[in-house]
Structures are given as structure tokens and as C-alpha cells.
DNA sequence: CAGCCGTGGGC
DNA sequence: TGCCCAAGGCT
């Protein structure tokens, strides 16, 4: 098989200039800081989901200098509902490093960028190509799909190393910005997972697949999702809610959630059970069965615990990072 | 290094 | 419905 990768690359650029998604918020004003935030938010998260979070984040933290003053909790609060909360913690950790080691200016060298927590090879490549206009390959879901179709192989049949090599070959050194944006736009809008529109694809001629082969088969075995039981005691007074900062390292790390029911046993005499909510919350790998006792207490009380907790004023809950189901529960109170 | 981390959308 | 998976990275 002989494919002219240089030609393909410039076709991507041409296509992007005419047909790319030029109106995405992070493409309007391009700065390393804005590219960074958008790239982190976009990890494993669809564009449509990210847009409102990005706009709100940038409104709150328009510049790296503004962000440099934020606490981890404040950043987590901006992340409420977006998922993969470690990303928010990594943003906090990274901006602390940038403050200490880079004079509060986003580093421009690949080696410095990839050292920042939450930034791997692909995100570092995107930052180089998009923010600093230094050609570097990326390898996200879009690029993997486009490449594997180009050479008519299943993604599953290609090793990570091979995909990186192909991605590296494709990088356009004359306009790495348009290429990088373009290859992602192409994957997202034309070379889609299901029902790609090959007749609208600039690469149709050179594509060995051209959708003549079926979709790449899924190799992941469908495993039984583990069901996790979570029993919560959501305690409220008239004006406040009792929440604790989750100190586990697994799901919802560092987010604010109710205490476990068992932890509230010793305070049962102060609590009036309002109602009980049982529902399932689905994650990709797990099913969470939530069993929430909703209690009313006439006043706030102190707890004997090592866990960090607060009686959070109801009009301040937006200042705290919380997972989706807890946010939903609170809204229904 | 396979498993893990969240949520929403598509089929 | 249930499953895949989306601008991945970390351990």
C-alpha cells in the first residue's frame, strides 16, 4: 500500500479552512491557557458537553493569573457534574507548578508541558501544535479512527506504537494548527464512528477503507459491572446541609458528599427521617446503588470524626464540588 | 499495564 | 435495554 501522507495532511488542512468548526469557544481567542483548559476538559468528554463548562470556567478564570489564586475546592466546584474529577485536581496541581517553576506563565517547551499533571503525550502535542505552532502529533479517538480507516485496519489490530508512528507521519509542518484542529474535526463530523459521510470526506480518494469495510469490531469484553452499594445520610437544617469531603481515592475523590448512614447512628436522637430515596446511578464501569436517608435536624451539631465536614449554607452549595447524583438530590430537597 | 476514573449521547 | 465511547492520563 502506498499512501502519500504529505498530500493527505495538506488535504486535511484545506478541508479544515473551509469546513472546520471555527466557532468553538476555545478557537475564538487562542492562548496557551485557554487551549490547556479546553484540552483537559475535552479528554474523554464530548464537545457539546464541554462548551458550557468551558465558558463558565473562562468567565470565572479568564487568565492563568486569575486561576493561580484559586483553591482546589474552587476548581472542583467549577467541575461539578463534568466528571473525571481528577482532571480538576490536576489543573490545580499544574497551575501551582506553573506558578513556582514558570513564573506563572504557561511553559512553551514540550518537555516542560508534559511534566505537568494531567497532560500526557497527546495533550502535550495538541498544546504544542495549537498554542505554540510547533508541529507535534496527537493521538485521540478521532485520529485513531481516521488513521485506522485510512489504512483499512481495525483499531483493535493496531498497536499504540503503530498509531503514534502514523500520526507522526501525518502531521503538517506548514500549518500544524489547521491540521491538528482539522484531523479532529474530520473525525468528529465526517469520519464518525457510525455512519461516516465518506462522500464529503477530503480523504475519500486515498482512504483504503472508504467505508467499504465494516466498523472496527469491539474487542473489549463486556464485563459484568460491579454494583457498589452506597448508604448516605443527607442531613439538613432549615438553612444548611451537612456534607463531608470524600477522602477516598476512588470514585468522587475530594468531592463533597453526605456522610454514610452508619456514621450518623450516634446522632439518631437529633434526626428526624424525612424520607428515603433509593436509586441507581450508572457509571461506565460500575453501577452505584444509592440508598439515601434524608434527615432534618433542628440545628447544626458537631461530629466526632477525622473526616473534614461542613454545614454548608444552602445558598452556597455552588461553591462546592459535588457529583451529579448528589447535586440532583439536593435540588429536590 | 489493565483497570480505573463520570457523565451524557447514540444506536 | 444495554453497551459503546467521547479532544486520555495515571498507576
Confidence bin at A223 (pLDDT 50/70/90): low
In chain A, ranges of CATH 3.90.79.10 domains: 226-331
Q: Which CATH superfamily is domain A226-331 in?
A: Nucleoside Triphosphate Pyrophosphohydrolase (3.90.79.10)
Q: What is the pLDDT of residues A183-206, one digit of tens each?
A: 999 999 999 999 999 999 999 999
- What would the pLDDT profile of A243-279 be if each residue is shown by its tens digit? 999 999 999 999 999 999 999 999 999 999 999 999 9
Name the residue closest to the C1' of B2 by its CA.
A220
Q: Where in chain A is the domain with CATH 1.10.340.30?
A: 5-200
Read off the pLDDT of residues A293-326 as tens digits, 9 standing for 90 and up: 999 999 999 999 999 999 999 999 999 999 999 9
The reply to whether A225 Cβ lies less than 7 angstroms from strand C is: yes
Whether the per-residue pLDDT at A216 is higher than 50: the answer is no
Q: What is the mean pLDDT of chain A?
A: 94
Which strand B nucleotides have any atom less than 7 A from protein CB atoms?
A: 4-11
pLDDT value, residue A222: 54
Q: How confident is the model at residue A106 (pLDDT cuts 50, 70, 90)?
A: very high
Q: What is the per-residue pLDDT for A191?
A: 94
Which of the nucleotides in strand C have any atom less than 7 Å away from a protein CB atom?
2-10
Residue A286, pLDDT above cutoff 90: yes
Helices (H), A44-175: 47-60, 64-67, 72-79, 86-101, 110-115, 121-131, 141-150, 160-170
Q: Which of A71, A69, A77, A82 is nearest to A40 (CA)?
A: A82
- Determine the nucleotide nearest to A254 by Cα–C1' distance: B5
pLDDT tens-digit map of A11-28: 999 999 999 999 999 999
Correct CATH for A5-200 of 1.10.340.30, 2.40.160.20, 2.30.40.10, 3.30.365.10:
1.10.340.30
DSSP state of A23: T
Q: What residues of A are annotated to the active site?
A: 39
What does R_g of chain A's alpha carbons equal in angstroms?
24
Q: Which residues touch strand B (CB under 7 A)?
A: A 44-46, 48-49, 81-86, 194-195, 226, 250-253, 281-286, 323-325
Q: How far apart are CA A186 and CA A170, in angstroms?
A: 14
Residue A211, pLDDT > 90, answer no
Interval A126-136 mean pLDDT: 98
Residue A91 has pLDDT above 70, yes or no: yes
Amino acid at each position: 500500500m502506498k499512501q502519500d501522507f504529505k498530500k493527505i495532511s495538506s488535504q486535511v488542512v484545506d478541508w479544515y479552512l473551509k469546513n472546520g468548526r471555527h466557532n468553538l469557544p476555545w478557537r475564538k481567542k487562542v492562548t496557551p491557557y485557554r487551549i490547556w483548559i479546553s484540552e483537559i476538559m475535552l479528554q474523554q468528554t464530548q464537545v457539546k458537553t464541554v462548551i458550557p463548562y468551558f465558558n463558565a470556567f473562562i468567565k470565572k478564570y479568564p487568565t492563568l493569573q486569575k486561576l493561580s489564586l484559586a483553591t482546589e475546592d474552587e476548581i472542583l466546584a467549577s467541575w461539578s457534574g463534568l466528571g473525571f474529577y481528577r482532571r480538576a485536581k490536576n489543573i490545580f496541581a499544574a497551575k501551582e507548578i506553573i506558578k513556582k517553576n514558570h513564573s506563572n506563565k504557561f511553559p512553551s517547551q514540550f518537555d516542560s508541558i508534559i511534566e505537568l499533571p494531567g497532560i500526557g503525550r497527546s495533550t502535550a502535542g495538541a498544546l504544542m501544535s495549537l498554542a505554540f505552532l510547533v508541529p507535534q502529533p496527537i493521538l485521540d479517538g478521532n485520529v485513531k479512527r481516521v488513521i485506522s480507516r485510512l489504512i483499512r485496519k481495525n483499531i483493535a489490530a493496531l498497536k499504540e506504537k503503530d498509531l503514534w508512528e502514523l500520526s507522526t507521519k501525518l502531521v503538517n509542518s506548514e500549518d500544524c494548527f489547521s491540521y491538528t484542529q482539522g484531523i479532529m474535526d474530520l473525525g468528529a463530523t465526517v469520519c464518525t464512528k457510525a455512519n461516516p459521510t465518506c462522500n464529503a470526506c477530503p480523504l475519500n480518494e486515498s482512504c483504503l477503507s472508504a467505508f467499504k469495510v465494516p466498523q472496527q469490531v469491539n474487542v473489549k469484553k463486556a464485563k459484568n459491572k460491579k454494583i457498589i452499594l452506597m448508604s448516605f445520610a443527607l442531613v439538613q437544617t432549615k438553612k444548611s446541609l451537612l456534607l463531608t469531603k470524600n477522602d477516598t481515592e476512588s470514585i468522587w475523590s475530594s468531592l463533597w458528599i453526605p456522610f454514610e448512614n452508619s456514621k450518623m447512628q450516634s446522632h439518631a436522637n437529633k434526626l428526624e427521617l424525612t424520607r428515603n430515596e433509593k436509586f441507581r446511578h450508572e457509571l461506565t464501569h460500575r453501577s452505584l446503588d444509592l440508598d439515601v436517608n434524608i434527615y432534618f435536624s433542628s440545628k447544626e451539631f458537631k461530629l466526632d470524626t477525622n473526616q473534614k465536614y461542613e454545614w454548608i449554607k444552602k445558598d452556597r452549595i455552588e461553591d462546592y464540588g459535588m457529583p451529579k447524583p448528589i447535586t440532583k438530590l439536593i435540588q429536590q430537597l
